[in-house]
Amino acid sequence: MKRKAEKQQSSATRSAVSAVAARRARQQQLQVASSHDNAPTDNKEPEPPAKRPRPSPDRNSKDAAPSNLERANGNRLAAPSKAVSADLAFELSNIDAAEALKRETSEDGKLTIGDENEEEHTDVRNNADHATPSRIPSTAENFTLSRNKLRKSDVIYSDEHMLCVRLKEKTTLVLIGIYDIWVKRGVISLMGAKLHPSIKTYRVYAPSTHSLPVIKCVSGVEGFAEIELQSCSSNLQGLKDISPYYSRIWNSSKTIGDSATLSGSFKRSFSTLYTSSDDPLNRPLRPLHLEKKWSTTIKSLSRRPHSLRALICGPKGAGKSTFGRYLLNHLLTPTPDGTSDNLDGIAFLDLDPGQPEFAPMGNIYLAHLREPCFGPPFSHPNLDNSRYGKIVRCHHIGATSPKEDPDNYALAIMNLLDQYRTLTATYPRCPLIINFPGWIFGLGLEVATWIIRSTGLSDVVYMSEKGPTEVIEPLGQAVSEAGVTLTTLPSQPVDMVTRSSAQLRSMQMQSYFHMTQSEGLLDSFWNESPLIHSKPTHVSYSGPQPGIAGIMVLGNHYSPQVLRDIIDGSIVAVVAVENASAIPGYSGIEAKPDSDSHTEEEPTDAMVGDQNEDNEESNADDTSASQSNQRVKDLLNESITRCPNSGLPYLFWGAGSSTPLDPKASRSLGLAFVRSIDVSAQRLELISPIPSSSIRDAINQGQSLVLVRGMIDSPDWAFSEEYYAARNAEQDFITQISQSKKSSATGPGKDNDETKREQDEQRRRLQERVRAASKMPYLKVIEDASALHQNEGRQENGTWRLRKKVYISSDSEVD
Q: For residues 95 and 286, give the distance between their C-alpha atoms in angstroms, rounded to a whole number.
A: 31
> Closest Cα partner for 487 from 294, 350, 327?
294
Tens-digit pLDDT profile for residues 226-281: 999 999 888 899 999 999 999 999 998 899 999 888 887 888 999 999 999 999 99
Stretch 413-433: mean pLDDT, rounded?
94
Angstrom distances, CA of residue 699 to CA of 82, 548, 623, 629, 674: 34, 10, 16, 10, 20
Q: For residues 812 and 734, give the distance between their C-alpha atoms in angstroms, rounded to a whole number.
A: 11
Determine the pLDDT at residue 341: 55
Determine the pLDDT at residue 60: 38
Residue 611 has pLDDT above 80, yes or no: no
At residue 91, φ and ψ (nearest 5 deg) are -110, 120
Determine the pLDDT at residue 262: 87
Q: For residues 158 and 470, give the distance between their C-alpha atoms in angstroms, rounded to a whole number.
A: 57
| Cross-strand partners of 659 | none
- Other CB atoms within a 10 A radius of the CB of residue 108 amount to 12
Determine the pLDDT at residue 779: 60
| Cross-strand partners of 369 | 346, 389
Give residue 195's Cα distance to chain centre: 26
Determine the pLDDT at residue 411: 95
Tens-digit pLDDT profile for residues 579-589: 989 998 875 54
Determine the pLDDT at residue 504: 92
Name the percent of the chain lying above pLDDT 90: 49
Residue 311 has pLDDT above 60, yes or no: yes
Q: For residues 697 and 687, give the distance between their C-alpha atoms in angstroms, rounded to a whole number.
A: 19
Predicted TM-score (pTM) of the model is 0.77
The dihedral of CA 109, 507, 684, 653: what is its sign? negative
Assess contact for 67 and 131: CB atoms under 8 A: yes
Determine the pLDDT at residue 631: 82
Determine the pLDDT at residue 51: 38
Mean pLDDT is lowest, of 34-38, 352-356, 458-462, for 34-38
Residue 785 has pLDDT above 90, yes or no: no
pLDDT confidence tier of residue 5, bands split at 50, 70 and 90: very low
Q: For residues 41 and 652, give the distance between their C-alpha atoms in angstroms, rounded to a whole number.
A: 30
Q: For residues 671 and 650, give the distance between their C-alpha atoms in angstroms, rounded to a whole number.
A: 19
At residue 502, φ and ψ (nearest 5 deg) are -65, -40
Mean pLDDT is lowest, of 557-566, 671-680, 784-793, for 784-793
Angle between helices 320-331 and 292-302 (to 10 degrees): 40
Determine the pLDDT at residue 404: 85
Mean pLDDT is lowest, of 11-20, 656-665, 764-773, for 11-20
Q: For residues 151 and 722, give the distance between their C-alpha atoms in angstroms, rounded to a whole number.
A: 45
pLDDT confidence tier of residue 140, bands split at 50, 70 and 90: low
Q: For residues 377 and 501, give the distance between their C-alpha atoms in angstroms, rounded to a whole number.
A: 12
pLDDT confidence tier of residue 794, bands split at 50, 70 and 90: very low
Stretch 307-331: mean pLDDT, rounded?
93
Stretch 352-374: mean pLDDT, rounded?
95
Assess contact for 570 and 715: CB atoms under 8 A: yes
Q: Residue 314 carries which DSSP code?
A: -
Under DSSP, is residue 685 helix (H, G, I), strand (E, B) or coil?
strand
pLDDT confidence tier of residue 567, bands split at 50, 70 and 90: very high
Stretch 53-76: mean pLDDT, rounded?
36
Determine the pLDDT at residue 758: 87
Give the residue, 560 or 32, on which the prediction is more confident. Answer: 560
Determine the pLDDT at residue 48: 37
Stretch 697-702: mean pLDDT, rounded?
90
Determine the pLDDT at residue 458: 94
Give the residue, 347 or 613, on which the prediction is more confident. Answer: 347
Stretch 174-178: mean pLDDT, rounded?
95
Give the residue, 773 or 202, on which the prediction is more confident. Answer: 202
Name the percent of the chain lying above pLDDT 70: 70
Residue 130 has pLDDT above 90, yes or no: no
Determine the pLDDT at residue 378: 95
- Other CB atoms within a 10 A radius of the CB of residue 515 amount to 23
Residue 808 has pLDDT above 50, yes or no: no
pLDDT confidence tier of residue 125, bands split at 50, 70 and 90: very low
Q: For residues 419 and 390, give the distance between their C-alpha atoms in angstroms, rounded to a whole number.
A: 14
Tens-digit pLDDT profile for residues 35-60: 444 433 333 333 333 433 333 333 33
pLDDT confidence tier of residue 626, bands split at 50, 70 and 90: low
Rounded to 5°, the CA angle 346-350-354 comes to: 155
| Cross-strand partners of 346 | 369
pLDDT confidence tier of residue 392, bands split at 50, 70 and 90: very high
- Other CB atoms within a 10 A radius of the CB of residue 293 amount to 14
Tens-digit pLDDT profile for residues 143-154: 889 988 899 899
Stretch 505-524: mean pLDDT, rounded?
86
Rounded to 5°, the CA angle 779-529-694 comes to: 100
Mean predicted lDDT score pLDDT of the chain: 77
Under DSSP, is residue 287 helix (H, G, I), strand (E, B) or coil?
strand
Residue 649 has pLDDT above 70, yes or no: yes
Q: Which domains does the chain carry? A: 29-124+721-739+762-815 (no CATH), 152-278 (2.60.120.1030), 292-491+499-526 (3.40.50.300), 536-586+624-716 (no CATH)
Residue 431 has pLDDT above 50, yes or no: yes
pLDDT confidence tier of residue 304, bands split at 50, 70 and 90: confident
